[in-house]
Structure 1
Amino acid sequence: MSDLPILGAAMTLKDVELNRDWLLEKPRDLELQDFVPAEVLCGDWQPLAERAKQLLDGHQGRLGMHGPFMGLNIASADPDVRTLVARRMEQALDVAAALNITQIVIHSPYTTWMHNNLDNWPEQRQRVFEMTHQTLDAAVKRAADQGCVFVLENIEDKDPANRRRLVESFNSRAFALSIDTGHAAYATGSTGAPPVDYFANDAGNLLQHVHLQDADGYADRHWPVGHGSINWRAFFARLAGITSNPRLIIEIRDKSQIKASAAYLANLGLAQ
C-alpha cells in the first residue's frame, strides 16, 4: 500500500455525479461547494443535504465544505457587516451539523493594500485581530463543540505570516490554516509574495487544508494541475515535513479534469 498522500477534490453535487467512481475508489476527501451562496444558506437547503447523503453513500474520506465568502469580510470595520458575517457562519455550521461535515473553508481578510498599510496606522494590525474575533469567536467556539474546524484560506495574502498569526490568536483546535496554491502563485507573480512552497513552510502543522490548482502568477486561473507554472515538487516537499495531515483538495474550474490532475501528481510520485 502506498504511503503517498491521497488526493481529494472540491465539487458540487453535480460534479460528484461525474466523478463518483474516482471519489469512492480510495478514502478521498471531499469539499462540497453547493452551500456557498447566501441564497442557499438562507433558503431550504435540506433537500440538497438529503441528496448529498444519497450520493455520498459509501464515501470513506473526510467531508468538508466551502463556507460563505461572497461579499463578506471577516474583519469588517462595520459592526452590521460583522453581524451578518457571523450569521452566515452560523448557517454554515447548521449545514455542517446536518451532514457531519468536519471542515469549513473561509477566506482571509488580508488584501494587497493592507500589506503595505498595516503599519501605516497605529494599532492597525491589532484592529484586524479584534474585528475578526468579534466576527468569528462564537462560530469558532460552536465549531469546536460540534467537532468542526474552520480553515482560513489565503486570497490576496502577500505575507503568509499575517494569516498564521491571526489563526494563532484564537488558540483553538477549531481554527486552522488553508493554502490555495493558485492564490499563492498569483501573489508571487503579481504582488511580490514568496514562492508557493514558502506558504506551506510558514503554515507548518497549523495547515489542515490545501486547494490544489495551477496558475501562471497573473490571475486566479484554477487550471488543471500541470497546466500552469507552479513547482509541484517543491510544494509537496514542504508538505512532506508537515504532520497535521492536511486535506489535499483539487479545486479546478473544469471538473472533468479532476482525474487528470490527480494522475499528473501521481505520475510525479507525489500523491495518489
Structure 2
Amino acid sequence: MNALPLLGAAMAVSELETLQDFILSENRDLELQDFCVTGALDADWKPTADHARSLLAGYTGRLGIHGPFWGLTVASADAEIRKVVTRRMLQGLEVCEYLGATQMVIHSPYSTWDYNNLDNAPDGSAYQMILDYTHQTLDATVKRAEEIGVTMVVENIADKDPDIRRILVETFASKAMAVSIDTGHAHYAHGSTGAPPVDYYVRRAGNTLQHIHLQDADGYADRHWSIGEGNICWHGVFRALGELTSQPRLILELRDKSGILPSAKWLEENGLAR
C-alpha cells in the first residue's frame, strides 16, 4: 500500500473532461470551480452541474466546490451587504446539495491591515467586531451546511496571522466550519509582509485544517504556478501535514491546468505525495 498522501485538484467542469482519468482512476479529491465565477449563481447552473455528475459517474472521492467570493466579504459592517453575502453563501450550498459535494471553500475576512491595526482598540473590540459581523453573515449558512453535511473551509487570502482564522472557525463550534490554507497566499504573506512560512500556517491550523490549495509561488504574488516552479519549501509543508490526523484535502490549484500532472509527478518523485 502506498503511504504517500493522495493529491486532488481544482478545475472547471470543462477541464474535468481532459483530467477525468486522473481524478477517477484513484477517486481523487476534486474541487469544482465553475460556481464561483461572477454571475454563475444567477444563471442556470444546473446543466453544468449535471455535466459534472455525468463525468463523475461511479466516483467515490470527496467532492467540493469553491464558493462565491468575488466582491464579497463575510465581515461587512453594512447590514444590507451582509444579507447579500448570506444569500450568495446559501446559493453555494444549494449547488453543493445538488452535486452531493461535502465541502465549500470560502474566503477569510482578515487582511494585513487588520494584523497591524486590530490592537489599536485596547479592549479587543476590533477583534470582536469582525467575529460578530462574520457570525451575523454566516450563522444561517452554517446551520444549513450542518443540515446537508457540508463543511465550509475558510481560506487565507491576505492573512498575516496564521492563528486568526482558526480562532474564528472555533467560535462557531460546528463541524460545518474548518480551516483551509492556500500555500501561495501564505507564501506571499511570508515573502511580502513578514508572515511565518507556509509550514507554520499548517502547524498553527492543526486538525482544524481540512483543505489545502497547493500552488507554488515566489513570495511576491499569487502565482498559482506548477509545483517546483517557485520556492516554497515543500518538504517542510508536507512534513507538517504529516503530523495531522484531519486528512485535509490536498487540492492542486494551478492557473495552468496542464501543470496538474507534472506537479503530481514532481511531488511523487520527491517522495511527498502522489
Mark yes or no: TM-score above 0.5.
yes
Q: Which amino acid counterpart does residue 24 of structure 2 have in structure 1? A: L
Do 1:26 and 1:60's aligned partners in 2 also have CA atoms closer than 8 Å?
no
Counterpart-to-counterpart distance in 2, 1:125 and 1:5: 36
Match of 1:95 in 2: 95
> What secondary structure is seen at the aligned counterpart in 2 of 1:256?
helix
Q: Give the percent of matched residue pairs that are identical in Structure 1 and Structure 2.
A: 58
> What secondary structure is seen at the aligned counterpart in 2 of 1:126?
helix
CA deviation digits over 1:158-200, x for unaligned, max 9? 0111111000100000000000000000000000100000000
Match of 1:36 in 2: 36
Report the Cα offset of residue 38 of structure 1. Answer: 4.0
- Residues 226-241 of structure 1 aligned to structure 2 (within 5 Å): 226-241=228-243
Q: TM-score, normalised on structure 1?
A: 0.99
Report the Cα offset of residue 37 of structure 1. Answer: 2.4
* Range 44-53 or range 96-105, more displaced: 44-53
Match of 1:200 in 2: 202
Report the Cα offset of residue 40 of structure 1. Answer: 1.2
Counterpart-to-counterpart distance in 1, 2:225 and 2:199: 18
Do 1:177 and 1:203's aligned partners in 2 also have CA atoms closer than 8 Å?
yes
Report the RMSD for the aligned CA atoms in angstroms.
0.8
- Residues 40-55 of structure 1 aligned to structure 2 (within 5 Å): 40-55=40-55
Match of 1:218 in 2: 220
* Range 151-160 or range 119-128, more displaced: 119-128
Counterpart-to-counterpart distance in 2, 1:115 and 1:255: 33
Q: Which amino acid counterpart does residue 179 of structure 2 have in structure 1? A: L
Report the Cα offset of residue 59 of structure 1. Answer: 2.2
* Range 95-104 or range 120-129, more displaced: 120-129
Counterpart-to-counterpart distance in 2, 1:257 and 1:161: 31
- Residues 53-72 of structure 1 aligned to structure 2 (within 5 Å): 53-72=53-72
Counterpart-to-counterpart distance in 1, 2:55 and 2:9: 15
Q: Which amino acid counterpart does residue 165 of structure 1 have in structure 2? A: I
Q: Could you list the runs of 4 or more consecutive aligned residues of structure 1 that deviate by over 6 angstroms after TM superposition? A: none
Report the Cα offset of residue 27 of structure 1. Answer: 1.9
Match of 1:263 in 2: 265
Q: Which amino acid counterpart does residue 21 of structure 1 have in structure 2? A: D
> What secondary structure is seen at the aligned counterpart in 2 of 1:35?
helix
Match of 2:18 in 1: 18
Report the Cα offset of residue 146 of structure 1. Answer: 0.6
Counterpart-to-counterpart distance in 1, 2:187 and 2:59: 32
Is 1:81 aligned to 2:72, yes or no? no
Q: Which amino acid counterpart does residue 118 of structure 1 have in structure 2? A: L
Counterpart-to-counterpart distance in 1, 2:27 and 2:43: 31
CA deviation digits over 1:84-112, x for unaligned, max 9? 00000010011011010100000000011
Counterpart-to-counterpart distance in 1, 2:84 and 2:162: 27
Report the Cα offset of residue 21 of structure 1. Answer: 1.2
Q: Which amino acid counterpart does residue 110 of structure 1 have in structure 2? A: Y
Counterpart-to-counterpart distance in 1, 2:139 and 2:2: 40
Counterpart-to-counterpart distance in 2, 1:204 and 1:133: 22
Counterpart-to-counterpart distance in 2, 1:46 and 1:238: 39
Counterpart-to-counterpart distance in 2, 1:48 and 1:251: 20
Listed as ranges, the gaps of 5+ residues in structure 2 are none
Counterpart-to-counterpart distance in 2, 1:111 and 1:263: 34
> What secondary structure is seen at the aligned counterpart in 2 of 1:6?
coil
> What secondary structure is seen at the aligned counterpart in 1 of 2:146?
helix
Q: Which amino acid counterpart does residue 263 of structure 2 have in structure 1? A: S
Q: Which amino acid counterpart does residue 11 of structure 1 have in structure 2? A: M
Q: TM-score, normalised on structure 2?
A: 0.98
Counterpart-to-counterpart distance in 2, 1:29 and 1:174: 18
Listed as ranges, the gaps of 5+ residues in structure 1 are none
